Amino acid sequence: MEKIKGIIFDLDGVITDTAEFHYLAWKKLADKLDIEIDRDFNETLKGVSRTDSLERILAYGGRSDDFDAQEKVEMAEWKNEVYKEMIEAITPNNILPGIESFLKELKEAGIRTAIASASKNAEVILRSLGIRDQFDYVVDAAKITKSKPDPEVFLKALELLELSADVCIGVEDAASGVDAIKDAKMRAVGIGDAEILGRADLVLASTASLQLKQLQNID
């Protein structure tokens, strides 16, 4: 590909592992609703917005029609309060392996960076991790109208970076996020399981393997 000029990162599952906190908070709510969810089901919630996640959980438990709009808002808020309490414990120790050195490598190479996250808690999390200033832009759920797999969050990041899709790479841990990157016409790097992230141009088992040289070789 052309020389890389920008890299756009998902937050949850790429920069830090908040997926487990999301899962535990949703599980607490699901337990109250007598809906049984497990970690496999949680895979389908990664990268999915808070309200869409709730709808998926209710559908999974066959309870989609049991609550009105106001009750759903309250349930989503309740989950978020539980989640916010959990993420208070986040410190720079929660940055995923290899991310800090990779960001340093990008800075030295003059490559611009942004975050593209479906989370409304993205800014708080980045500040707790102590790395907010290392990204040129943060595009989070507050700045977009359509959540992943819609490409909007990545397109917005491209616009802010003033870069075209063909010189940028997106990094994601969720299938919905890889779809969003590909539909934004960018190259996608998946972090995790190749079976789940099949549409990605390159799948790495862990963030520890992120290296600019390897990304530069993606066709």
Which residues would be at the binding site for ligand B16 (CB under 6 A)? 10-13, 22, 45-50, 53, 80, 117-121, 141, 174
The binding site for substrate consists of 10-12, 26, 45-50, 53, 79, 117-121, 148
Residue among 160, 179, 182, 155 at smallest CA distance from 112: 160
Q: For the segment 3-42, give every residue that binds Mg ion (CB under 5 A).
A: 10, 12-13
The binding site consists of 10-12, 26, 45-50, 53, 79, 117-121, 148, 172-173
Smallest distance from ligand B16 to CB 74, Å:
15
Residues 6+ apart with CB under 8 A from 162: none
Smallest distance from Mg ion to CB 15, Å:
9
169 binds, among ligand B16, Mg ion, none (CB under 5 to 8 A by kind): none
- CA-based end-to-end distance of the chain: 5
Sign of the dihedral defined by the CA atoms of residues 20, 207, 90, 6, in that order: negative
166 catalytic? Reply is no
- Please provide the size of the chain in residues: 219
The binding site for Mg(2+) consists of 10, 12, 172-173
Of the pair 29, 174, the CB lying nearest Mg ion is at 174
CA distances from 96 to 17, 58, 63, 175 (A): 7, 31, 36, 19
The footprint of Mg ion (CB under 5 A) covers: 10, 12-13, 47, 173-174
